[in-house]
């Protein structure tokens, strides 16, 4: 077995171990917080069913859903069901939680990839311009744009884009998902919200590498500037960018929730907001579990990419 294979297996094992620990801690804390927050799902169910609320009705539902059991018993039962790939049923809609989440997950992932595409189109050119033309007008322009982007809340930017491109110009749809045009405004909103930190980091990293000794040595050997930039400077700057992406994946999913609500995007954002408002515990727990898995899997993929971008990781 080669060194690279052993490294990848070690990374995979460590990440899987972290996944198990994280899910246990996160799910239990969430389970506990849901029990102590104001609101009663039983009363919500009775209201939805338009039943006359009585102590007997509440007691029956409490026993049916196991809410009369101690919290550690409820959590243990939920965890045992999760091991069997059963996230339970929604207290409100009576639909399987796994089915509800997976029906919304593709839309959320599609929007995430759209936002990442806009992020790359914005951050890479502006970060490169700031580094190549340090302390000149392109650098000032990139820094000003990054400052403006970081100062605008995503919900305000989304409403602004809707106002101009949908209401005034009538060139892009306001909400929904269907054609490619429906992706443009939500993706731009999501991408611009995340781009400033990547612009600043890429600029600072490129400037730092350009003044390093091994870049000067490469120039002394007569290697062309373009080759030095793409194969040494730019490639070396990708490590902190990948690290930042792995750390910000949780913020990305949180930002998607806001964008989905603004543009009525049929993803998991509206699903979790409705579940929180209705105290739909199984849906909330299932959502947190799936998001936790996405975060850990994404970080695992970033670790694997490290070995490609940085050959020293193979050692």
Quote the mean pLDDT of the chain: 79
pLDDT digits (tens, 9 = 90+) for 86-119: 888 888 888 899 999 999 988 888 888 888 889 8
176/81: higher pLDDT: 81
254/189: higher pLDDT: 189
pLDDT reading at 188 higher than 70? yes
Give the tokens for residue 42.
């039983």
**Percent share of the chain, pLDDT over 70:** 83
Residue 59 banded pLDDT, cuts 50, 70, 90: low
Q: Which of 62-66, 204-208, 213-217 holds the top average pLDDT?
A: 204-208
Mean pLDDT in residue range 52-69: 63
Residue 40 banded pLDDT, cuts 50, 70, 90: low
Q: What are phi and psi of 248, to 5 degrees?
A: -100, 5
**Percent share of the chain, pLDDT over 90:** 2
**What was the pLDDT predicted at 55?**
60
**What was the pLDDT predicted at 302?**
76
pLDDT reading at 64 higher than 80? no
């Amino acid at each position: 077995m080669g060194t690279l294979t052993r490294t990848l297996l070690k990374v995979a094992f460590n990440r899987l171990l972290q996944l198990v620990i994280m899910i246990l801690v996160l799910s239990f804390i969430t389970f506990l917080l849901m029990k102590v927050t104001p609101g009663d799902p039983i009363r919500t169910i009775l209201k939805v069913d338009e039943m006359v609320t009585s102590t007997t009705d509440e007691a029956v539902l409490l026993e049916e859903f196991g809410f009369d059991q101690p919290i550690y018993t409820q959590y243990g039962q939920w965890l045992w069901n999760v091991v069997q790939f059963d996230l339970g049923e929604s207290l409100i809609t009576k639909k399987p939680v796994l089915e509800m989440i997976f029906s919304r997950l593709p839309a959320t992932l599609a929007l995430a990839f759209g936002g990442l595409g806009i992020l790359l189109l914005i951050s890479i050119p502006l970060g490169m311009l700031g580094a190549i033309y340090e302390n000149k007008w392109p650098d000032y322009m990139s820094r000003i744009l990054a400052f403006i982007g970081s100062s605008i809340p995503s919900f305000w930017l989304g409403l602004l884009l809707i106002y101009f491109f949908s209401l005034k110009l009538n060139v892009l749809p306001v909400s929904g998902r269907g054609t490619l045009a429906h992706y443009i405004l939500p993706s731009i909103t999501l991408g611009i919200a995340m781009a400033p930190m990547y612009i600043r980091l890429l600029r600072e990293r490129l400037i730092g590498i350009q003044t390093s000794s091994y870049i000067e040595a490469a120039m002394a050997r007569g290697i062309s500037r373009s080759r030095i930039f793409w194969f040494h400077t730019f490639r070396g700057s990708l490590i902190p960018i990948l690290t930042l992406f792995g750390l910000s994946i949780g913020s990305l999913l949180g930002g998607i929730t806001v964008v989905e609500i603004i543009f009525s995007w049929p993803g998991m954002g509206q699903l979790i907001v409705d579940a929180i408002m209705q105290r739909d515990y199984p849906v909330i727990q299932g959502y947190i579990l799936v998001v936790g898995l996405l975060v850990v899997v994404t970080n695992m993929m970033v670790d694997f990419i490290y070995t490609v971008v940085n050959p020293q990781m193979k050692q």
